[in-house]
């Protein structure tokens, strides 16, 4: 999940909460926050919400097809049993 603007926003927000006497270090710390966030979040192998939603929809469709196929198989087995 390399969502650039979100990393930028989060790094900026972290830098903004620093005390005013650290304002000279703010840009450097913001860059460090950004690097730490990227490194740690990429280790988690996260996906974007859009990609998650697409996969959830695909799974739902696949499950619906499976249910339909199971019902069709049951009907065919009944026909064979009657025979």
In the structure, what pLDDT confidence band is assigned to residue 59 with cuts at 50, 70 and 90? very high
Banded model confidence at residue 51, pLDDT cuts 50, 70, 90 = very high
Domain ranges within the chain, ordered by starting residue: 1-46, 48-83
Category of 45 on φ-ψ map: left (φ > 0), alpha (ψ -120 to 50) or beta: left
pLDDT number for residue 1: 46
pTM here is 0.51
Are the CB atoms for 11 and 29 separated by under 8 Å?
A: no
Long-range contacts of 4-11 (CB under 8 A, 24+ apart): 7/34, 7/37, 7/38, 7/41, 8/34, 10/37, 11/37
**16 and 27 Cβ atoms separated by less than 8 Å:** no
């Amino acid at each position: 999940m390399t969502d650039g603007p979100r990393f930028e926003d989060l790094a900026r927000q972290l830098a903004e909460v620093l005390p005013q006497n650290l304002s000279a270090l703010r840009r450097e710390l913001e860059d460090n926050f950004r690097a730490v966030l990227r490194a740690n979040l990429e280790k988690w192998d996260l996906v974007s919400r859009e990609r998650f939603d697409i996969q959830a929809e695909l799974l739902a469709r696949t499950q619906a097809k499976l249910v339909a196929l199971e019902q069709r198989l049951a009907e065919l087995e009944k026909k064979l049993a009657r025979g």
